[in-house]
Structure 1
Amino acid sequence: MQSLLWRSLVVIFVILGFIGALLPGMPTTVFLILAAWASSRGWPQMDNWLLNHPKYGSTLRDWRANGTVPRKAKWFATIMMSISAVIMLFTTAPVAVKIFTNTTMLVVCIWLWLRPEPQPPTKEEE
């Protein structure tokens, strides 16, 4: 039963990651990190597939090993959150919602920039 829960979470997170790959403003990597986390608890084959994915595998392995986030991903996330924050200001949402949403994005942005970045391989590792 517990395996079914982990596998369900993996499927949900992979679907959300796929949607994020198609829609600007929605994250991909965050959902794939969550999918890798859930798959490591109950779906080894999917965990292996995610960690060896040609596009996202290295980012997921770096996150799992060291909690690192590439600078390019930090910039992309910051730009998308900034655009979303500006758009939020022009919506008809209540002021409290605007403040909460934009504050949350600011906190996430600060946390993201405090994460270490992957180090380039040394000549010995190449």
Structure 2
Amino acid sequence: MVLRFVYLAAGWLAIALGILGIALPLLPTTPFILLAAWCFAKGSPRCHRWLRQNRWFGQMVRDWENSRGLRRRYRNRAVAMMLVTFSLSMWLVPRLGLKLMLLAIMVAVLGYLYRLPVVEEDSP
């Protein structure tokens, strides 16, 4: 019972961080939503079903669970948002070392995104 509560709480925390990640550059939305799906699968079938059917995140969760990939449009949106938010962050940060750290993080995450399989749009 306690473990179920921990999974449920962690899932909702991941949802909250994923939603914050839509606007904040260093909080990536997709991994937090996928973490929430995993936590919900372990702790609450009802919440897992809700997330899989969610109009904003459901398709991404289903694609990941079925094929460990993302649709091209989701990847393109993620790349566009990363470029905008990381560029803004690098412009605002005064120290060269921090700019280089942000650049390294961005390149690493972009590399990871481009290595993921692309799920075709006509897939269920």
> Is this a same-fold pair by TM over 0.5?
yes
Secondary structure of 1:55's counterpart equals coil
Q: CA deviation at 1:29?
A: 3.4
State the TM-score, normalizing by the size of structure 1: 0.80
2:54 aligned with 1:87: no
2:46 paired with 1:45: yes
Output aligned runs, 1:47-62, within 5 Å.
47-62=48-63
Identity fraction in percent: 23
Structure number with larger C-alpha Rg:
1
Query: What is residue 72 of structure 2 aligned with on the other side?
Result: 71
Structure 1 outlier segments of 4+, above 6 Å = none
CA contact (8 A) 2:70 2:116 kept: yes
Q: Distance in 2 between matches of 1:41 and 1:76?
A: 29
Residue segments in structure 2 that go unaligned for 5+ positions in a row: none
Tell me which residue corresponds to 2:8.
Answer: 7
**TM-score normalized by structure 2?**
0.81
Gaps of 5+ in 1: none
Root mean square deviation, CA, Å? 2.3
- SS across alignment from 1:54: coil
Number of the residue aligned with 2:108: 107
